[in-house]
Amino acid sequence: MIAITNLTIETAHENLKNGAYTCRELLDVYLENIKRRNKELNAYLEIYNDVYEQAEIATEKFKNGTAGLLTGIPFAIKDNILLKGKIASAGSRILENYKATYDATVMKCLKKAGAIVIGRTNMDEFAMGSSTQNSAFGATRNPLDPSLVPGGSSGGSAAAVAGEMALVALGTETCGSVREPAAFCGLVGLKPTYGALSRHGIIAMGNSLDQVSPFGKTVRDVEIIFKALSQYDEEDSTSVPEDLRKGKNSAGKKIGVPWHLFKEGVDPSIMENFKESLEKFKKAGYEILEIETPTSKYSLAAYYIIMPAEVSTNLARFDGMRYGYHEEADNLLGVYKKSRAQGFGREARRRILLGTYVLSHGYYDAYYNKAIKVRQKIRKEIMNTFETVDLIATPPAPFLPFKIGEKLEDPVAMYLCDVFNAPANLSGTPSIAIPSGKNNKGLPFSIQLTAPHWREDWLFEAGKKFESIR
């Protein structure tokens, strides 16, 4: 029996290399778990039919000496990442049968590395949500307690890893969609610097915010994935060329905490755990300072204008004509109306309406332009803050995983999940969520660290340190 509970990429690699087990044997353990648990958890929407061929390719790499760290590693990928010939539905009825015609750049990298992509995972429709209940294909449940949500929007990927149905996974972040489910499922989740990983072949939600983001059980695992996928891609005009990927110098040990952001209501047990985590960092030689980022409190407000504006533009292409869900009607306008009304779910329609409104003549300056200005101010403020501290710490989410069905009728309560995530997405800085203990019901706590642009290495260093002392 292969023990996978504490398995990491490096240990799996060693074992595959020295023949303790084969790629196929390792894969089979995860497939067994999928058989046992996926029906209840709904983490995967599809298990690919070529997983054994992928395992053979990986085995071949071990035989001919071209295997790397990711060779034979079982991955789950979010349903908005294109893989040629496979369905990518973004959790939406409108793309239910859409088959990708090319590989996303990150998938090309994984294929080249010989990773095994087990299947595509459930998500909130077009990545809009914080609980994976907005999927057209049913909610995903939290493997730690199936009566709870796994977080979202990449909840399927998080549940796949936490439920031992993949060793690691890819999700995407527009605002917290990997850090929040990582926190809810007891995993590590990294949102890289904007422009580090290619967005080519990712179904767009908010282009100026989206980033492919890895999940793992350890900081080292997400570091390995980040390093394998972080590279300039000429197919993505927002990908940053290698020579411009330079961060601030001098990794010090100063952690700033924006206590003023905690006013919005943080669960007392999260607060307590967060303070304990800070104490641990202190003992490990870090200095904890209070910081003031007054504009950050407008992050959510700015995000919920900029994102729907981009969403309404991006989703305009789903018109029922070119591809995706199609409804017959008497005329073209009728086709658009019917296809879109029935193809999109409630949250998608809500955001299309909001976005169209804030971009419309007469409201553009009042809302969209203002939000853009606020975003620039937030970015500047965060960059200034990094003149005095090296990392910023908060919890990733203000509350613990909630019940399936909760907050569904109250979109604003759901939007509050993102309160600590938004500054990193708006400013493009890298940010990581790391498990920081459990409560008496076994539910995970988590700490979030944010670093200056291109200083993922500081997150990894502090994160590994924290793993060794938590």
Answer yes or no whether residue 177 interacts with ligand GLN by CB under 6 A: yes
Among 205, 255, 302, 389, binds ligand GLN (CB under 6 A): 205
> Terminal CA-to-CA distance of the chain, rounded, Å?
30
- The answer to whether residue 299 is catalytic is no
Query: Which parts of 269-308 interact with ligand GLN (CB under 6 A)?
Result: 307
- The answer to whether residue 78 is catalytic is yes
Q: Which residue is nearest to ligand GLN (CB)?
A: 177
Task: For residues 209 and 223, give the distance between their C-alpha atoms in angstroms, rounded to a whole number.
Answer: 21
Answer yes or no whether residue 429 interacts with ligand GLN by CB under 6 A: no
- In degrees rounded to 5, what are phi and psi of residue 21? -155, 165
Among 23, 81, 90, 128, binds ligand GLN (CB under 6 A): 128
Min separation Cβ 154 and ligand GLN, Å: 7
Instruction: Tell me which stretch binds ligand GLN (CB under 6 A): 175-183, 243-251, 261-269, 456-464.
Output: 175-183
Total binding residues toward ligand GLN, as defined by CB under 6 A? 14
Min separation Cβ 22 and ligand GLN, Å: 36
Chain-centroid distance, C-alpha 279:
28
Task: For residues 321 and 336, give the distance between their C-alpha atoms in angstroms, rounded to a whole number.
Answer: 8
Task: For residues 372 and 375, give the distance between their C-alpha atoms in angstroms, rounded to a whole number.
Answer: 5
| 8 A C-beta contact, residue 123 and residue 213 | no
Instruction: Tell me which stretch binds ligand GLN (CB under 6 A): 168-176, 229-237, 277-285, 431-439.
Output: 168-176
Task: For residues 160 and 176, give the distance between their C-alpha atoms in angstroms, rounded to a whole number.
Answer: 18
- The answer to whether residue 239 is catalytic is no
Min separation Cβ 163 and ligand GLN, Å: 21
Pick the closer one to ligand GLN by CB: 29 or 178.
178
Pick the closer one to ligand GLN by CB: 37 or 78.
78
Q: Give every CB contact of residue 268 below 8 A, 6+ residues apart in sequence.
A: none
Q: Which amino acid appears at position 221 of this protein?
A: D
Among 79, 103, 125, 173, binds ligand GLN (CB under 6 A): 173
Structure tokens at 242: 């290698």
Q: Give every CB contact of residue 339 below 8 A, 6+ residues apart in sequence.
A: 94, 318, 319, 320, 321, 324, 325, 326, 327
Q: Which amino acid appears at position 262 of this protein?
A: F
Answer yes or no whether residue 130 interacts with ligand GLN by CB under 6 A: yes
Q: Give the active site residues.
A: 78, 153, 177
Where on the chain is the footprint of ligand GLN (CB under 6 A)?
127-130, 153, 173-177, 205, 307, 417-418
